[in-house]
Amino acid sequence: MDTKNLLLELGTEELPPKSLRTLAQSLHDSFVKSLKDLGLGFSSAKWYATPRRLALVIKDLDTKQKDAELEIRGPALKAAFDKDGNPTKAATGWAKANGISVSEAQTLKTPKGEWLYIKTLRKGRDTAALVPELFTNALKALPIPRLMHWGAKKEQFIRPVHTLCMLFGDEIIPGTILGIKSDRVINGHRFLGQKQISIKNADTYVQQLRDEGSVIADYDERKQSIISQVKAIADSVNGVADLDDALVEEVTSIVEAPHIFKATFEERFLQVPSEALVYTMKGDQKYFPIYSKDGKLLSTFAFASNINPSDPSSLISGNERVIRPRLSDAEFFFKTDRKHSLESFFPRLEHIVYQKDIGTLAYRTSIVEKLSAFIAGLTGADETKAVRAAHLSKCDLATTMVTEFTDTQGIIGMHYAELDGEDKDVAEAIFQSYQPRFAGDAVPTKPVQMAVSIAEKIITLVGIMGIGMLPRGDKDPFGLRRAAIGLIRVVLENRLELNIPEVVEKACALMADKFKKGSPAQAVVEFIFTRLKSYYQDQGIDAPIYLSVLSVKPVSLLDFDLRVKAVQAFKTDAAAADLAAAYKRISNILSKAGVSPEAVSDDLLKEPAEKSLVKALNAIEPKIKDFYDHGDYVKAMTSLSELRGDVDSFFDSVMVNDLDEAVRNNRLGILNRLKKLFGQTADISVLY
């Protein structure tokens, strides 16, 4: 089979940087899929993307589709002919669609019945003839939130389109897509190199763009270049750059030729909390902050440019000019805020509505204070500090700094509290009350910090669920799922023993006058324990294990976790499946019998197997009880496997349904004891 290399490039105005990679990847995926669907072979496919182009290079692509023998099944014979033997509409319609008459169709016989069918030869088409439609469809399938019009053209795309290049080998594939005719001439860099380049073929595409067009088409090459250039600048000041991947990706997507330069701002700005400076540097300006080895922000930063002038002085001084007023703003907010203590912002929370049915932030804070004290009492944290931290935790929302740089909430509160001379735990707890803010974020690890963080999350859940605003689909405006998962992480990662229903009840009592339809306590507890499912799924622990523990309704997340780990260990035991089956059988027998006697009398034991089982039970019960009482669920569960032999032989040789009622009840009593023993840690019957 002949093959050639294929180049497809769409030249556009500047594409949205945050979705550039997704767009290119998606174009690649759907185009490759359509090639495969058509049976067109190739050796490799690679996407390219810059702010002004999306491209694909397919290597060694078949120049022609193979001829294919197709077997097409039609309607069943029963449905194909009426009682007089004339073809039905179903049959004629199908035949027509396949370009034959019903009499030309063959019959396909299978054990399941008979069908009309034909074998037909599909002539392979030339790849070049197929490509324009495939490319059009792949472009149509791009995930674009908002399409646009431009000029007076009827076409729509993400941004206006200027060039289309479809080359197969050295030949142009003719065609028009999005109103643009295919041509080998494409645009180079806006300002460097040649404005227009005539591409020879797919093999020279990347090199020609680089040499003649001053454009690096390869996304990952640009990204690596940015990373290494930024690192070099950080090294030159003995620092470490913040190479936040989202920022690097964004910068990669706004330059066609990345050149990184070093710039500085005035040292005096470093007295402002660095998070506020970094917020504007990264968020507004896409600059790379640099830190000293011990984590302090430096006044040197790195920025990307799309050009590389021999004299970069206006470039550098320009960028330094831009950041100055922004840092001045941050400095101004800092100085304005610092005329007062953090606590003096509290009265302003009286005027900020948290949620209209719940009340102001001041009200909410008063509830968090009380719950923090309650939790501190349970966990042995310093109550006074917890209350203080809770009291201050939302004050920064009224500062000018957080009003302007909303992402710095909590962080600014912490810094201001430190500057006010608040206790270190109190200051930290202000920030950590928000943690964990996202997957992978740190969780508080000290008692006061944990108490406030937990109270914060439970109040969110109780308050918002209490007024009936449950998350729907992907809409969770108050972050209830995040609050529940955050709560789970704080508790479990600190191995904290906490009775969740008790804490939730307390929170509900504090807010009782706000609820529209009674206390949400039960719903909140269920919501929290339901979130555990995804928490465990993320750890690769499957749903049956989670469900087996859920059905014994633990009240503490830690207890839940210990049981989950025990069931996990138990499941690896060779006897596990047998024991689970036995447990199911026991449950069935007991529920059929309708009675569950407690007592077992030695005098009524007849068969050797039941005697031996009871002996084993007598021996193991206190042992397991001891493990269980000490929370050693792993040993409690793995010890069960010691009973396997006795249980098996009991079922092999003993009839539970003895005619003598006393004997029967005695045997049911044995089973009842077994059931209790098995079901203590988890309901193992749901495991298989």
Partner 1 sequence: MPNKYDLQTFQGLILTLQDYWMRHGCMVAEPFDMEVGAGTSHPMTFLRSLGPEPISCCYVQPSRRPTDGRYGENPNRLQHYYQFQVILKPSPDNIQDLYLGSLKELGFDPTVNDIRFVEDNWENPTLGAWGLGWEIWLNGMEISQFTYFQQVGGLECFPVTGELTYGLERLAMYMQKKETVYDLLWAHTANGDVTYGDIFHQNEVEQSTYNFEYANTDFLFYMFDQMEKEAKYLLTLDKPLPLPAYERILKAAHCFNLLDARHAISVTERQRYILRIRALSKTVAEEYYKSRETLGFPMCNKADAAK
Given a contact cutoff of 8 angstroms between Cβ atoms, the answer to whether 523 and 504 are in contact is no
Q: Which is nearer to partner 1, 75 or 289 (CB)?
A: 289
Q: Which long-range contacts (CB under 8 A, 24 or more apart) does 418-426 make?
A: 419/338, 420/341, 420/342, 420/343, 422/342, 422/388, 422/392, 423/385, 423/388, 425/382, 425/385, 425/389, 425/449, 426/385, 426/388, 426/389, 426/392
Structure tokens at 470: 């449950």
Q: How far is the CB of 335 from partner 1 (least distance, A)?
A: 13
Q: Which is nearer to partner 1, 311 or 513 (CB)?
A: 311
Q: Mapping DSSP to helix (H, G, I), strand (E, B) and coil, where does residue 310 land?
A: coil
Backbone angles phi, psi at 673, to 5 degrees: -65, -40
Q: How far is the CB of 624 from partner 1 (least distance, A)?
A: 59
d(CA 81, CA 591): 56
The angle, 0 to 180 degrees and rounded to 10, between the axes of the packed helices 361-379 and 500-510 is 150
Q: How far is the CB of 302 from partner 1 (least distance, A)?
A: 12
Sites of contact with partner 1 (CB under 8 A): 13-14, 16-18, 51, 146, 148-152, 159-160, 162, 190-192, 254-255, 285, 287, 303, 305-307, 309, 311, 314-315, 318-319, 321-323, 325, 328, 353, 356
Cis ω on the peptide bond leading into residue 75 (within 30° of 0)?
no
Q: Which is nearer to partner 1, 310 or 591 (CB)?
A: 310
Q: Which is nearer to partner 1, 464 or 634 (CB)?
A: 464
Q: Which is nearer to partner 1, 16 or 175 (CB)?
A: 16
Q: Mapping DSSP to helix (H, G, I), strand (E, B) and coil, where does residue 183 land?
A: coil
Q: How far is the CB of 150 from partner 1 (least distance, A)?
A: 5
Residue 293, exposed/middle/buried by CB under 10 A (0-12, 13-18, 19+)? Answer: exposed
Q: Which is nearer to partner 1, 80 or 323 (CB)?
A: 323
DSSP 83-131: TTSPBPHHHHHHHHHTTS-GGG-EEEEETTEEEEEEEEEEPPPBHHHHH
DSSP one-letter code for 266: -
Structure tokens at 322: 């831009």
d(CA 563, CA 570): 10
Q: Which is nearer to partner 1, 299 or 596 (CB)?
A: 299
DSSP 599-638: ---GGG--SHHHHHHHHHHHHHHHHHHHHHHTT-HHHHHH
Q: Which is nearer to partner 1, 20 or 443 (CB)?
A: 20
Give the CA count within 13 Å in the CB-facing half-sphere of 536: 25
Q: Which of 416, 159, 155 is CA-nearest to residue 272?
A: 416
Q: How far is the CB of 285 from partner 1 (least distance, A)?
A: 6
Question: Bridge-partner residues for 4, per DSSP?
Answer: 61
d(CA 528, CA 508): 15
Q: How far is the CB of 48 from partner 1 (least distance, A)?
A: 19
Q: How far is the CB of 336 from partner 1 (least distance, A)?
A: 12
Q: Which is nearer to partner 1, 81 or 332 (CB)?
A: 332
Q: How far is the CB of 257 from partner 1 (least distance, A)?
A: 11
Q: How far is the CB of 123 from partner 1 (least distance, A)?
A: 41
Q: How far is the CB of 388 from partner 1 (least distance, A)?
A: 29
Q: Which is nearer to partner 1, 151 or 594 (CB)?
A: 151
